[in-house]
Amino acid sequence: MRHDFPIRVYYEDTDLAGIVYYANYLKFIERGRSEWVRDLGVDQVALKRDQGLVFAVRRVEADYLKPAKFDDALTVSTELVAETGARFIVEQGVWRGTEKLFAATVTIVCLTEAGAAARLPAEMRRKLAPPLH
């Protein structure tokens, strides 16, 4: 199921030409993923405090398709495409209306606070599982 998160382009997000600086798309999709996880009901602060687990980006494959500009109203979409024992993969997009500006495939891993690989908590795997019909 697709999760959408609205975002506005501010002056600080742009370069001298008024176009979104390329690295800021990574910030936009990070915010989208964080809100997606929150909307799943996963409390990342509690997960770290109670189980010593955190999430980290392992890999990003990104395509810059069209520029976003100052004051654009954008939507960051996030959709789960795969989940294994210790990682999940999401497809993310940045949209201006129906026009896709940026696309990324992001692999997220679960780690202990010490940086060792860890299994995703069972509760999170249940929340990521597709609903049964």
> What is this structure's pTM?
0.91
**Tens-place pLDDT, residues 15-65:** 999 999 999 999 999 999 999 999 999 999 999 999 999 999 999 999 999
Residue 13 appears among annotated catalytic residues: no
- Whether 133 is in a domain gets the answer no
Q: Domain holding 14: CATH number?
A: 3.10.129.10
Q: So what's the pLDDT on residue 125?
A: 87
Q: Are the beta carbons of 55 and 48 closer than 8 angstroms?
A: no
CA distance 121 to 10: 36
Name the one residue in this structure whose structure tokens are 């742009």: 14
pLDDT of residue 94: 98
Q: Which of 64, 73, 96, 65 is nearest to 7 (CA)?
A: 73
3-state SS track over 50-63: HHCEEEEEEEEEEE
DSSP H helices, the chain, are 24-40, 44-51, 122-128
pLDDT tens-place string over residues 74-122: 999 999 999 998 999 999 999 999 999 999 999 999 999 899 999 998 8
Predicted confidence (pLDDT) at residue 131 exceeds the cutoff of 70: no
Place of tokens 């602060």: 45
User: For position 127, what pLDDT does the model report?
Assistant: 83
| Active-site option among 4, 13, 15, 63 | 15
**Residue 133, pLDDT score:** 56
What is the model's pLDDT at position 86?
Answer: 93
Largest separation between any pair of C-alpha atoms in the chain:
51
The answer to whether residue 82 is domain-embedded is yes
| Domain that includes residue 31, residue range | 3-128
Q: How far is CA 116 from CA 24, 67, 81, 129, in A?
A: 28, 38, 24, 24
Distances in Å between the alpha carbon of 35 and those of 17, 43, 78?
30, 11, 9
Q: How many domains does the chain have?
A: 1
